């Protein structure tokens, strides 16, 4: 519809700007994480992620190259290029760069501009050019250890996949990824089937107590899962299931039932009555009607619930913490991130970002490809 604001240019511009602003606000946090996951530790601590596409000045330290030592009267002279220094070279694979400043103390690493002769006291001096060539003049033989120098060098923007490599191989995230999948797939498929039969009965079969059961399902939609934790874990231990994958499959399958039944029943009740009645008249049993008519027609609702259940089990932390063993081999990604990475690796932001991105990549993929069904499901089941 051509709304009234559409005819007022000032209002429509304000609308554009407001929405753009909100979208930007909503995106910034995720973009920050995404960009950070491709930067190494030094780059992250040197500049904000919003500067990642630009060159930045980073501080490096090196030692005068004692291999080039020559004696000139009383003085010892070391020459070399800062970008060939073994401590600096790894950041500059081409051995080329631009020096923005140099010095000999870590406190003011860029004290002197390039090309200026720096008098370092005690007869020591250092001069360094923009391209990194330096001449160190010393009053004494430095021996094997060359004198320290510091440089501020302009570093080109650098992105790396190292964080992902570390996370997937060394960090145990690979195992956690597999575990998450192991929890998620069975608990997405099995509850749908259970619930579909029940939903059909609640939608199309007449029996006493139907209204009560529907009310019960709606009531159970909001029961906090916190209640189930202690008694059910106890029961699992008594039954010999304990904390295990079997336990979490059972738990997730059961916890998904209210929403599944609610969504599917709401959908099935809207299917045309004529189809079902004529099938009955033709002698179809309820089982046949369900399998051949209801189930195929309910595909959108089944898909909607499957997406919900998948996202919910993939993203769940609470149930996984309680119903899975706390050993390293059984950790799912959410537990891994919340308990291990956020605690011990608190300082290594690149690794954290990569781990988070690994864990949210699959839901995001599902979300963007199947958004249509998700929205439909939300609209049908907005009680939970």
Partner 1 sequence: MNPVFQGLITIAIGVGGIFLYFIASNAFLDKVLFPAKGPNASRNINRANTIRPWLFMAPTIIALSLYLVYPVIGSFWRSLFNRSGNEFIGFSNYMTMFASSEFRTAFGNNVLWALVVPSVSTFLGLLVAQLTDKLRWGNIAKSLIFMPMAISFVGASLIWKFVYAIDPDLGVINALRVNLFGAAPLDVLQVAFWNNIFLMVILIWVQTGFAMVILSAALRGIPEETIEAAIIDGANPFQVFFRIQVPQVTNTIIVVFTTTTILVLKVFDIVYAMTGGNFNTQILPSYMMQFMFRDDGRATAVAIVIMLIVTPVMIQNIRQARNEMR
- Decide: helix, strand or coil at residue 320: helix
Nearest to 200 by CA among 264, 279, 255: 264
User: Measured from the CB of residue 170, what is the shortest distance to partner 1 in angstroms?
Assistant: 19
Least distance CB 334 / partner 1 (angstroms): 4
Task: List Cβ neighbours of 95 (8 Å cut-off, separation of 6 or more).
Answer: 81, 83, 84, 89
Element (H, E) at 148: strand 148-155
The upper half-sphere exposure of residue 1, i.e. CA atoms within 13 Å in the direction of its Cβ, equals: 3
Q: Which residues pair with 99 in a beta bridge?
A: 153
Q: How far is the CB of 52 from partner 1 (least distance, A)?
A: 11
Task: Name the residue nearer to partner 1 (CB basis): 117 or 342.
Answer: 342
**Cβ proximity to partner 1, 23 vs 161, nearer residue:** 23
Contact 40, 350 (CB under 8 A): yes
- Closest to partner 1 by CB, 154 vs 364, is 364
Which CB atom, from 54 or from 143, has the smaller least distance to partner 1?
54
CB of 38: closest distance to partner 1 in angstroms? 14
Q: Which is nearer to partner 1, 31 or 117 (CB)?
A: 31
Beta sheet of 117-121, edge-to-edge order: 70-72, 75-81, 133-138, 124-128, 117-121
CB of 99 to partner 1, least distance (A): 21
* Cβ burial 197-233 (10 Å sphere, 16+ → b, else e): bbbbbbbbeeeeeeeeeeeebeeeeeeeeeebbeebb
Based on CB atoms, which residue is closest to partner 1, 41 or 147? 41
Least separation in angstroms between residue 318's CB and partner 1 is 6
């Amino acid at each position: 519809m051509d709304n009234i604001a559409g005819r007022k240019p000032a209002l429509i511009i304000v609308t554009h700007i407001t929405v753009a602003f909100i979208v930007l606000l909503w995106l910034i946090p995720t973009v920050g994480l995404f960009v950070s996951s491709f930067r190494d530790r030094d780059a992250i601590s040197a500049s904000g992620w919003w500067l990642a596409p630009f060159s930045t000045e980073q501080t490096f330290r090196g030692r005068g190259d004692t291999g080039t030592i020559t004696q000139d009267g009383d003085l010892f002279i070391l020459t070399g290029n800062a970008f060939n220094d073994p401590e600096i070279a790894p950041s500059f694979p081409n051995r080329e760069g631009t020096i923005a400043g140099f010095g000999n103390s870590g406190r003011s690493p860029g004290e002197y501009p390039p090309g200026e002769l720096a008098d370092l006291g005690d007869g020591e001096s250092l001069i360094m050019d923009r391209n990194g060539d330096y001449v160190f003049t010393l009053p004494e033989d430095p021996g094997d250890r060359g004198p320290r120098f510091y440089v501020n060098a302009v570093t080109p923007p650098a992105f790396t996949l190292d964080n992902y490599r570390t996370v997937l191989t060394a960090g145990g995230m690979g195992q956690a990824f597999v575990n998450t999948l192991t929890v998620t797939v069975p608990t997405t498929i099995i509850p749908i089937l259970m619930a579909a039969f029940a939903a059909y009965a609640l939608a199309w079969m007449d029996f006493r107590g139907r209204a009560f059961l529907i009310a019960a399902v709606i009531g159970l939609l909001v029961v906090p899962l916190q209640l189930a934790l202690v008694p059910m874990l106890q029961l699992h231990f008594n039954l010999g299931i304990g904390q295990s994958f079997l336990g979490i499959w059972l738990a997730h399958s059961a916890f998904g039932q209210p929403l599944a039944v609610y969504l599917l029943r709401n959908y099935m009740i809207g299917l045309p009555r004529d189809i079902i009645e004529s099938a009955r008249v033709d002698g179809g049993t309820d089982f046949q009607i369900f399998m051949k008519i209801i189930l195929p027609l309910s595909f959108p609702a089944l898909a909607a619930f499957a997406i919900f259940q998948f996202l919910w089990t993939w993203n769940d932390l609470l149930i996984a913490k309680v119903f899975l063993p706390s050993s390293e081999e059984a950790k799912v990604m959410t537990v891994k991130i919340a308990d291990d990475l956020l605690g011990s690796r608190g300082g290594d932001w690149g690794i954290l970002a990569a781990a988070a991105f690994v864990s949210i990549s699959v839901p995001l993929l599902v979300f963007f490809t199947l958004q249509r069904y998700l929205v439909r499901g939300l609209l049908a089941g907005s009680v939970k």
